[in-house]
Amino acid sequence: MGYYYGIDAIWRTTGVLLGGLSHDIFGFSFTFIVLSILSLVGMPLGMTRDARALALDREGSTCLEKTREVTVTHGYRKDKFNEKVVTTLVGVPGLLSCDWFNPEGSETNTTKKDYEPIPLNAVVVKTWDNQTPLVDKQVVFVTNGEVKDPFVAFDRYDDRSLMENDLFRETKQDWHLEDPPKKTRAGVFVQVYMVMAMKALTSAFLMWQEEQARLLFMR
């Protein structure tokens, strides 16, 4: 689970944190972003198919497609070249097939006469960095946040991966974050502060080193 800007947004990719638990935790106080590409993450395939179908046939719907093109530079000096990288997303608002998202946390209560589905939104990735998969392979994100600009949810989810890979995984594997000198409150605090401080200093030095190398090659 990742945290963004003082727990303003919460992501989930593995395991199951859905149904009543997700409804009670998230409600509409937090913005959550869930990867819905596989049933392994606990997302019903019907909801994923609905989002893809709506994104495919947008005529008369409120779905909004948006494309972003960025220029990426590769290589140095004679081998230097620019590549245009395109990503196209479709925001799908008001998805009503998220039956797992309710206070009771079960799809069994959806047959009740007084049941009212809670609408959620989706972001369907049609093209990701010039790669356009088949419709049944498209990545789908589900969120209770706005999707008028689908890149907001898309970029925030990408921040989660940066924190997970560059921070949590590296500090655990390379900096032994989970091995404090003493298994006491003070020992854990010392370990966390020291590891995070050293990680920050090392990252800053490596970024400076890369920038110096880039400036040298540009001469």
Looking at the DSSP assignment, which residues form a beta bridge with residue 89?
66, 125
The reply to whether 96 and 141 lie within a common domain is yes
* Per-residue exposure over 177-200, b if at least 16 CB sit within 10 Å of its own CB, e if not: beebeeeeeeeeeebeeebeeebe
CA–CA distance, 45 with 57 (Å, rounded to integer): 18
- Highest mean pLDDT (candidates 1-5, 97-101, 161-165, 177-181): 177-181
The reply to whether 20 and 124 lie within a common domain is yes
Which residue has 């689908």 as its token pair?
A: 150
HSE-up of residue 67 (Cα within 13 Å, Cβ side):
8
The reply to whether 53 and 79 lie within a common domain is yes
142-170 pLDDT tens trace: 888 889 999 998 988 877 777 777 778 88
Task: Please indicate, yes or no, if residue 170 is contained in any of the structural domains.
Answer: no
Which domain does 193 fall in, by range? 175-218
pLDDT of residue 171: 87
pLDDT of residue 32: 62
The reply to whether 114 and 190 lie within a common domain is no
Positive or negative: CA dihedral 71, 74, 76, 77:
negative
The reply to whether 126 and 202 lie within a common domain is no
CA–CA distance, 100 with 115 (Å, rounded to integer): 12
pTM of the predicted structure, to 2 decimals? 0.64
Task: Please indicate, yes or no, if residue 76 is contained in any of the structural domains.
Answer: yes
Task: Please indicate, yes or no, if residue 28 is contained in any of the structural domains.
Answer: yes
pLDDT of residue 23: 46
Helix (H, G, I), strand (E, B) or coil at 23: helix
Q: How far apart are the first and last CA of the chain?
A: 43
Task: Please indicate, yes or no, if residue 107 is contained in any of the structural domains.
Answer: yes
pLDDT of residue 193 exceeding 80: yes
Look at phi and psi of residue 114 and say left if phi exceeds 0, alpha if psi is from -120 to 50, else beta. Answer: alpha
Task: Please indicate, yes or no, if residue 106 is contained in any of the structural domains.
Answer: yes
CA–CA distance, 164 with 126 (Å, rounded to integer): 25
CA–CA distance, 99 with 56 (Å, rounded to integer): 22
Our measurement of the distance from residue 29's CA atom to the centroid of its chain's CA atoms, rounded to an integer in Å, reads 18
Q: Write the single-letter amino acid at 16.
A: V
Task: Please indicate, yes or no, if residue 105 is contained in any of the structural domains.
Answer: yes
pLDDT of residue 130 exceeding 70: yes
8-63 pLDDT tens trace: 444 444 333 444 444 444 444 456 666 654 433 344 567 788 889 989 887 777 89
91-118 pLDDT tens trace: 999 888 777 666 655 555 666 777 777 7
Domains: count for the chain? 2
